[in-house]
């Protein structure tokens, strides 16, 4: 039981805080899950199923108590194109495959590589996601034919959305005991029902059956051609889901001062997504906003996530007639505020304080996210660019000093890492024709880091040998000596 950190009596758990936090999380997750599902063209019920399945499985099996998962927009956005081209059954299959890929990441302990994502890339990723969420809400201001609303329907929709935004913004200034988004939905819901206001509701998008998640094997042809079709979507979804989940895990680690288990979280996320594909859920990942709600409500254990998931299931089973009457304007307003809250506004204030290449990287990641709706590609591009910039700057840090001692031996002192980017600078530092018979290269302030560096040393040794001169390497670190020793079959260098 200690493995679950739920009934581990060595851990002090405030059951009151955990239960109240779970109820609060459920009420904030329901409108978001509905909105994300509707955004992608799914049945709203697939969003609620995802919230239930993701929330329950990751709360019980995940690597980070206090973290909340559900039907998140980051993963849903990836599946929109597949939904439009091939339909919901292919989406379920893609979610299953994404789950399997996430499980493999956890099994092979690859979760640690999230540390390679630089901060500017994260700013771009989060800001791009916020822009997508916000602009997607504008679709609710259009009629099914694609034309914009006009006249009274437009003014009513706009008025209700602005009212929702105002409540979400100002209500926390009065009290934080009740989620502002829930209060906004209830007030707007009450106004629409009480005054008989005619506006679009959830039922106008799709009716909710309100049943238990049904077991359903995706009705597709299980062939290699199908695998080739869904694999790119699954790969991107798996990557996006793990990136957002593991970054959220790191944030919770910082807030709570404890250490989560990234590989265990990968397996839990993957298991939950496999179950989503088998029980008609749209899949998902960790949800940053709901996790913050959970932590601010005092949760530090797994119980709150379990309570939240069970609460959502109760709403599905018994509250469907009510959910169907929820005005879309209320959900649009909540999602717009989620987008505004998701946006890293501090990144704008830091523009003139950050290095230019970091600013460009962040903007590029945000641009790819917004225009291509491919969050994994955006993050990958950002990481590659950041790595190239780092390599370029590191290459310029290498310099070589030289002197000749009393015995006539010439010493070259290398400063800075020797790797592929610095090889040309390194090679240009030697004057083979005028050097004496014996030369020593001192690596006291340097490291040999890769195969390009090893090959450079081998070629340099060969050039000195052809000139009838002897080259020695001195003060190599243990790891450098190990690299050169392993390469003895293809190189010939002299180590002092």
CA dihedral 351, 352, 353, 357 (to 10 degrees): 60
Q: Is the residue at 4 inside a domain?
A: no
What are the backbone angles phi and psi of residue 442, rounded to the nearest 5°?
-100, 120
- Domain contains 171: yes
pLDDT for the residue 208: 67
Q: Residue 9: inside a domain, yes or no? A: no
Domain closes at, from 371, 389, 407: 389
**What's the pLDDT score for residue 492?**
56
The pLDDT value given to residue 458: 86
State the pairing for strand pair 438-445/410-415.
Answer: parallel
Coil, helix or strand at residue 148: strand
* Rounded Cα–Cα distance for residues 343 and 412 (Å): 51
**61-70 exposure pattern, b = at least 16 Cβ within 10 A, e = fewer:** bbbbbbbbbb
Give yes or no: residues 120 and 207 share one domain.
Answer: yes
Instruction: Report the CATH number that the domain containing residue 417 is assigned in CATH.
Output: 3.30.750.24
Cβ neighbors of 304 (< 8 A, separation 6 or more) are 17, 18, 19, 21, 22, 25, 59, 66, 68, 294, 297
In the three-class reduction of DSSP (H, G, I as helix; E, B as strand; rest coil), residue 342 is classed as helix
Regarding pTM above 0.75, the answer is no
**Do 411 and 383 share a domain, yes or no?**
no
Domain co-membership, 309 together with 191: yes
Say if 49 falls within a structural domain. Answer: yes
The answer as to whether 496 is a domain residue is no
Asked if 79 and 233 count as a contact pair (C-beta separation under 8 A), the reply is: yes
Residue with the two structure tokens 């990481």:
383
For residues 422 and 368, membership in a common domain is answered with: no
Full DSSP string of 109-139: T-GGGGGGS-HHHHHHHHHHHHHHHHHHGGG
Q: Whose CA is closest to 95, among 237, 226, 214, 225?
A: 237
Q: Mark whether 53 and 116 lie in a shared domain.
A: yes
d(CA 68, CA 55): 6
Do 173 and 300 fall within a single domain? yes
Q: How far apart are CA 324 and CA 438, in angstroms?
A: 86
Q: Which of 361, 389, 417 corresponds to the end of one domain?
A: 389
| Judgement on whether residues 284 and 172 belong to the same structural domain of the protein | yes
Q: Which stretch of DSSP H or E encloses residue 299?
A: none
Does 340 share its domain with 473?
no
Asked if residue 3 is part of any domain, the answer here is: no
Residue with tokens 């959830």: 202
- The domain tally of the chain equals 2
Q: Are 200 and 329 in contact (CB under 8 A)?
A: yes
Do 295 and 171 sit in the same domain of this protein? Answer: yes
Quote the CA–CA distance of 64 and 300 in Å, as a whole number. 9
Query: What local confidence, expressed as pLDDT, does residue 5 receive?
Result: 44
Q: Please give the pLDDT value at position 371.
A: 86
Same domain, 347 and 450: no
Q: Which domain holds residue 409?
A: 398-486
In a domain, 8, yes or no: no
According to DSSP H, which parts of 41-150 are helical?
Answer: 44-61, 73-86, 88-107, 119-136
Phi, psi of 431 (to 5 degrees): -115, 85
Q: Which two tokens stand for residue 356?
A: 């230019």
- Same-domain pairing of 447 and 304: no
Whether the CB-CB separation of 199 and 156 falls below 8 Å is answered with yes
- Measured between alpha carbons, how far is 127 from 339 in angstroms, rounded to an integer? 9
> Which of 354, 389, 424 is the last residue before a domain boundary?
389
146: left (phi over 0), alpha (psi -120 to 50) or beta: left
Residues 56, 147 within the same domain: yes
Q: What is the pLDDT of residue 2?
A: 40
- What's the average pLDDT block by block, 10 residues per block, for the chain (496 residues)? 46 80 85 82 91 96 93 85 92 97 95 79 82 84 84 94 94 81 89 92 74 93 93 90 87 83 95 97 90 82 94 89 85 84 83 87 89 76 89 89 93 93 92 92 90 89 89 83 69 62
* Separation between Cα atoms, residue 281 and residue 69, nearest integer Å: 13
Q: For residue 493, is it within any domain?
A: no
């Amino acid at each position: 039981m200690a493995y679950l950190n739920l009934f581990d009596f060595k851990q002090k758990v405030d059951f009151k805080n955990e239960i109240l936090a779970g109820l609060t999380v459920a009420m904030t997750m329901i409108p978001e899950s509905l909105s994300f599902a509707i955004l992608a063209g799914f049945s709203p019920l697939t969003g609620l199923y995802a919230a239930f399945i993701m929330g329950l499985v990751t709360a019980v099996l995940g690597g980070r108590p206090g973290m909340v998962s559900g039907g998140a927009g980051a993963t849903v956005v990836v599946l929109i194109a597949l939904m439009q081209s091939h339909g919901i059954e292919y989406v379920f299959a893609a979610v299953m495959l994404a789950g399997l890929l996430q499980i493999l990441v956890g099994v092979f302990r690859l979760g640690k590589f999230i540390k390679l994502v630089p901060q500017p890339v994260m700013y771009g990723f989060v800001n791009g996601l916020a822009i997508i969420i916000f602009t997607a809400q504008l679709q609710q201001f259009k009629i099914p034919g694609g034309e914009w609303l006009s006249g009274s329907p437009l003014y009513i929709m706009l008025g209700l959305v602005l009212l929702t935004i105002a409540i979400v913004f100002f209500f926390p200034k009065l009290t934080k005991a009740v989620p502002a988004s829930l209060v906004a939905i209830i007030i707007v819901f009450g106004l629409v029902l009480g005054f008989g206001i005619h506006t679009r509701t959830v039922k106008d998008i799709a009716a909710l059956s309100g049943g238990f998640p049904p077991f359903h094997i995706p009705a597709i042809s299980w062939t290699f051609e199908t695998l080739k079709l869904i694999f790119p979507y699954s790969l991107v979804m798996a990557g996006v889901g793990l990136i957002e989940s593991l970054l959220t895990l790191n944030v919770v680690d910082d807030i709570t001062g404890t250490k989560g288990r990234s590989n265990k979280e990968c397996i839990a996320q993957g298991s939950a997504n496999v179950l989503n594909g088998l029980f008609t859920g749209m899949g998902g990942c960790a949800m940053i906003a709901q996790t913050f709600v959970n932590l601010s409500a005092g949760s530090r254990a797994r119980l709150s996530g379990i309570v939240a998931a069970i609460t959502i299931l109760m709403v599905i089973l018994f509250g469907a007639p009510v959910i169907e009457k929820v005005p879309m304007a209320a959900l649009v307003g909540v999602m717009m505020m989620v987008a505004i809250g998701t946006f890293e506004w501090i990144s704008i204030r830091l523009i003139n304080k950050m290095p230019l290449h970091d600013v460009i990287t962040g903007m590029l990641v945000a641009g790819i996210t917004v225009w291509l709706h491919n969050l994994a590609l955006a993050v990958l591009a950002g990481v590659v660019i950041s790595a190239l910039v780092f390599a370029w700057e590191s290459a310029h840090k290498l310099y070589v000093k030289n002197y000749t001692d009393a015995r006539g031996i010439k010493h070259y002192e290398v400063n800075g890492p020797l790797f592929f980017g610095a090889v040309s600078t390194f090679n240009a530092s030697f004057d083979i024709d005028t050097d004496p018979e014996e030369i020593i290269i001192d690596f006291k302030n340097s490291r040999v880091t890769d195969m390009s560096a090893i090959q450079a040393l081998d070629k340099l040794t060969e050039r000195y040998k052809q000139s009838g001169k002897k080259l020695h390497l001195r003060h190599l670190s243990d790891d450098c000596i190990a690299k050169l020793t392993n390469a003895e079959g293809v190189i010939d260098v002299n180590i002092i």
